[in-house]
Structure 1
Amino acid sequence: MKSVQQYQAASIARLASWLTDHSDDETRWRLISEFLEEYRHEPPVVRLALLTPEPSSVGDPHWDVFLAALAEHLAAKEGHAGPPWSESRRLHQFWFPFNTPAARVDAFVHAPASFRRRGVFIHPQELEVA
């Protein structure tokens, strides 16, 4: 008899492995949206646990730093500090994932603190799930 595997929301470490497996930005943003949707439906105690395991490198420092900023951002929304692994991840040059003149200005003004302090400029609306 085949065993049934129980549903379990993906951790940020699992998200990193998905991003590693897909190098095109469109797919990566869909995977991030899926992660955020699953995360949103979990109870607060589970949410924090999903951010705890340190993700392996995606192979691109932009995305590695993005994951650190995302983990800190989500933890802060729950009233917690970011996971310890996220502290050391920073970019040496600003990165605007959505790089049009209007998006750059909007992101520069409105980027969440956890992203801004790491050099990643993204509008918070990009982190919302419909």
Structure 2
Amino acid sequence: MRPVRQYRAASIDVLAGWLARHPDEETRWRLIAEFLEEYRHEQPETRLGLLSAEPSSVGDSRWDVFLAALAEHLAAQEGQAGPAWTETRRLRQFWFPFNSPAARVDAFVHAPASFRRRGVFIHPQELEVA
């Protein structure tokens, strides 16, 4: 009989590993949704710990910057500053993950500050989990 492991929510570093192993966009968005679902079910005092360890590169600078923006965004929702590792991650060229003309305009107007200042334009609704 295998020993029972205690459940632990994934950290942002674990999420980076998942993204690195699954390069297709659709799967990556599902993994982000799973991470956000787990994150939101954790106690507030546990959440910031899930963001503290700097994640390894996923092999795509856009996604590396996305993770920094996400960590800062989630920390801000807790009334805290983002982890120090997030400060150095920026894009040189804007990235619109959902790249239809309507989505671009909507994201340009409504992107959360932590994403916008890094050059990632995503509508906040994309970060909501049902």
- TM-score bucket (shorter structure): over 0.9
Map of 2:66 onto structure 1 = 66
Q: What do residues 48-71 of structure 1 show as CA deviations (whole Å, max 9, x unaligned)?
A: 000001000000000000000000
Q: Which amino acid aligns with 1:39?
A: Y
Map of 1:20 onto structure 2 = 20
Q: Which runs of 5+ in 1 are unaligned?
A: none
Cα distance, 1:27 vs structure 2: 0.1
Q: Secondary structure at the match of 1:87?
A: helix
Q: Post-superposition, which runs of at least 4 consecutive aligned residues in structure 1 deviate over 3 A?
A: none
- Looking at structure 2, the residues matched to 93 and 85 of structure 1 have their Cα atoms a distance apart, in angstroms, of 20
Over the matched positions of the two proteins, sequence identity in percent amounts to 79
Q: Which runs of 5+ in 2 are unaligned?
A: none
Cα distance, 1:2 vs structure 2: 2.7
Map of 1:48 onto structure 2 = 48
Q: Secondary structure at the match of 2:96?
A: coil
Cα RMSD of the aligned pairs, angstroms, is 0.5
Map of 2:100 onto structure 1 = 100
Cα distance, 1:3 vs structure 2: 1.3
User: TM-score, normalising length from structure 1?
Assistant: 0.99
Map of 2:85 onto structure 1 = 85
Aligned residues: 130
User: TM-score, normalising length from structure 2?
Assistant: 0.99
